[in-house]
Structure 1
Amino acid sequence: ALPCVRHLRLAAGTANFVEAPAMGAEQCLLALEAGRESVRRAEQAGSQLFIGGEMGIGNTTAAAAMACALLDAPASALVGPGTGLDASG
């Protein structure tokens, strides 16, 4: 384990956001607080740069959907064909 990497599991996944909210309000608040705490820890350790990451396994669509909603942008402006695909699919 790397001391600069924080592993945190809040739940065993999220719900299908097509059918229902992916997270309840409580789980969302826990996730946001975990992010804030990670930034605080990095800052206290003297870090000058924080890079939050995600695995891209099953959550890339959710991240893109959130970005589109928050930025009021069409998906075509924010996403590409995906890993291993070209423009024709």
Structure 2
Amino acid sequence: MSNSKSALKKIASKHINKWRIKNPIQSRLNGGILNHLQLEDLTVGGFENQILLLNDFEKEIKLVKNFDKEDEFFKKEILRSIKLKNIF
């Protein structure tokens, strides 16, 4: 595994964990642990926090240097996914 893959994996894991905490119901639907006492924050502040989380994720991913085509593809897919989530 190249250093960039390792860096991409660490960054993705960190942000997935943050996302699961902020989205307990969606997390459960995707195989996470359900916390019956917590729901998504559907307030304006909750959506703003989601946008900040995605922006932080994007900044960290962009800093990773790519070493091969597979790394480059993975990085582009992550950035494309962030862009799609941020248009709403």
For Structure 1 versus Structure 2, the TM-score category normalised by the shorter chain is: 0.3 to 0.5
Where relative contact order (Cα < 8 A, 6+ residues apart) is larger, the structure is 2
Greater fraction helix: 2
Bigger Rg over Cα:
1
Q: TM-score, normalised by structure 1?
A: 0.36
